[in-house]
A and B are shown apart, each in its own frame.
Chain A
């Protein structure tokens, strides 16, 4: 840490900048100066695939010195100030590069979705774009160092852009000198829509060709995950440490194949939500681990009917006492009629009614 960093992070500086924080002033001078917050500059954008309607690009990010690094498999929240809308959109992306240390560059591999404002903007980004980042999050990681001797094999099952966290793990293993001599074979199974749609095709071909005890199986086109297929690729898979990440349909099949096996670790990435304009579905109060049938009433009322007592104030949408994180689903503002489906957004539960399924952090 440089002297400047030490000054910026000192308690005296924090007291002087109170109550707004040092970063509020530092970022005014240079957005890449930060004492606590993390921001990153896009320094390179490389197209991975040109799939019509869903191209994929890998962005190399140079983070501020505040980046604490990540373990392979973790994700990061990316905040993007979209030009023209003034709204900062925040989305989660798995980091695709190998495990990083403090301040080190990382890469994100992003697939553009037709209705995904953030992903579309990122895939077409120019170097120089500034992003807001969280520190790395998530427990979908390699639990042990690749240097740790062991004889247990490893298995990765991924679909579509679910390949990114597994790729980070594989890259970490290979970078850190894992070459199979530990007697721990690695099986990498990936499902893509087509050969043209295959992310990291060249790198995966090289890894497959090298003598490293890593077996790569790529399935394209109509191939769907099947238990039978997996039996052939990785006999006894239920006893093998497995990391699986992919679309919801595939994850259901993988979960069914593994039954109760504790060796399976799953990472979900959320598909774009579509509003159903109905009061049907379930409301999940995640904090209380409670699921109730959606009655169409406000979330506050439904929570109270379920026996919860969330904080509230005016009950008419003016005081913001009841603001709560909605992690999934669509809600309708009963005052304005506006519907929103963004994942992880703050809503006023007294004037928000769920449309279809909805998950709230109550």
Chain B
């Protein structure tokens, strides 16, 4: 995606974004703290309620629902956002990015590397951002087609169902082992970390809590598995709507060499997509429905994204930068279409070397 702005315009755009960021930083305070503490409290109440309701077999669907919502809140509005350092300023060890461990088989330490660093620094740069397809899917025309990708929709479905496991294996870069550019030895420490976390997560959800319900063991076991599944499906869909609907752009490494701060902001807006919806939907998505604002300001408390979104839209409009947004079902359909379309080779191959002709504007 070749920037249509001059370096000076990009700088001016970046300065406006920096000013917006500073204004919110200066305004952080009691409301933000009360909000995140309130969410944690609600999440814990739902968790305890869900675990307790498993003792009443007729309430099984309710138990699963409560535990599912609890897990969704924990992973998205709390875990994801806390681990971005959004609440480090509060000085509360329970809400500190260095200490927080989430309810997910992916160890937070590894997730912070693959997500906070790799994905958020190199957002939508092909060959650098591993979130484009997670090393499994073909999510962009510029990924070369291979017969393997005929299975694209099936892989996507599997990744959705086992999303937390996919995320946990993200850092292992298994596809590179298959290709022979990475050895099992490289993965030893990472693998040990994942296994430690997997054991702990499996122990409580699939052994201890079911065992505590005695004869109801199988019901609780299935209930916990269902809650994890619901959370996986929800998280996968929210996240895939964040970068892959029609309108979200990708970039080449050359385009982003020696990128200016303004260009970085520019890439974040173009590489992300929002989902419109009501307040409850935003909370349940961890405010990742405001993916664009999140990618511009990943360390600002997510509850601020809805508040700053109109201003971001106003600014990018003045610079003529696209802003992709739409309701959930439209974004989902768009992503699904892309997954299916890219399973097949491109009907009209691009003129060879098209990307190479694009000169990085910031160079």
Q: Which residues of A are at the interface with B, using a C-beta cutoff of 8 A? A: 12, 15-16, 18-20, 24-25, 28, 79, 84-90, 313-314, 316-321, 323, 335-338, 346
* Contact count A vs B, C-beta below 8 Å: 98
Q: Is A28's CB under 8 angstroms from B44's CB?
A: yes
- Give complex CA distance A321, B102 in Å: 17
Q: Is B44's CB under 8 angstroms from A323's CB?
A: no
Q: Chain A residue with minimal CB distance to B98?
A: A323
- Say yes or no for B84: interface residue by CB 8 A criterion: yes
Per-position 1/0 for B87-122, Cβ under 8 A of A: 011111010111001110000000011001100110
> Number of residues in B with C-beta < 8 Å to the partner?
45
Query: With A19-B102, A28-B41, A320-B116 as given contacts, are A86 and B90 in contact (CB-CB < 8 Å)?
Result: yes
- Give complex CA distance A335, B6 in Å: 23
Q: Which 5 A-B pairs have the closest CB atoms?
A: A86-B33, A313-B117, A88-B91, A19-B101, A319-B117
Selected from A12, A24, A89, the residue in CB contact (under 8 A) with B44 is A24
Q: Is A319's CB under 8 angstroms from B102's CB?
A: no
Q: Is B200's CB under 8 angstroms from A15's CB?
A: yes
A25 partner residues in chain B, CB cutoff 8 A: 44, 48
B21 partner residues in chain A, CB cutoff 8 A: 335-336
- Give complex CA distance A25, B116 in Å: 28
Q: Chain A residue with minimal CB distance to B83?
A: A320
Selected from A16, A19, A319, A320, the residue in CB contact (under 8 A) with B209 is A16
Q: Is B112's CB under 8 angstroms from A320's CB?
A: yes
Q: Chain B residue with minimal CB distance to A317?
A: B299
The stretch from B24-32, B165-173, B321-329 touching chain A is B24-32
- Say yes or no for B208: interface residue by CB 8 A criterion: yes
A191 CB to closest chain B CB (Å) equals 34
A346 partner residues in chain B, CB cutoff 8 A: 88, 96, 98
- Give complex CA distance A335, B41 in Å: 33
B103 partner residues in chain A, CB cutoff 8 A: 19-20
- Say yes or no for B182: interface residue by CB 8 A criterion: no
Q: Is B200's CB under 8 angstroms from A18's CB?
A: yes
- Say yes or no for B188: interface residue by CB 8 A criterion: no
Per-position 1/0 for B73-92, Cβ under 8 A of A: 00000000000110011111
B361 CB to closest chain A CB (Å) equals 18
- Give complex CA distance A24, B95 in Å: 11
A19 partner residues in chain B, CB cutoff 8 A: 101-103, 197, 200-201
Query: With A16-B209, A18-B204 as given contacts, are A320 and B85 in contact (CB-CB < 8 Å)?
Result: yes
- Give complex CA distance A19, B83 in Å: 14
- Give complex CA distance A314, B261 in Å: 12
- Give complex CA distance A346, B28 in Å: 18
